[in-house]
Structure 1
């Protein structure tokens, strides 16, 4: 494990895993945000219909 070869490979793998997890998190966050915004808009429309 102390050898530089496998260690650098493992650290690269960890970096890639972390980067992909971060990307997935960002994409999921933006999707969730847009979904919640659309949901809020539709709810507001329904409430407006109910008031009229």
Structure 2
């Protein structure tokens, strides 16, 4: 039986788990980074507002 075309060419459970894990880590990392950037932007705006007064 030929493997399906595309990213997932194996049929092992490990390969599937590895892909799901990598995706999950990416999602978590992305959301943490987004939160960090939002907080950073907020504190920068606060600092700029203080500097103007």
* TM-score, with structure 1 as normaliser: 0.80
Cα RMSD (Å) of the superposition? Answer: 1.3
Structure 1 runs of 4+ with >3 Å offset: none
Q: Please say which structure displays the higher CA radius of gyration.
A: 1
* TM-score, with structure 2 as normaliser: 0.78
> How many corresponding residue pairs?
44
Gaps of 5+ in 1: 1-6
Gaps of 5+ in 2: 1-9
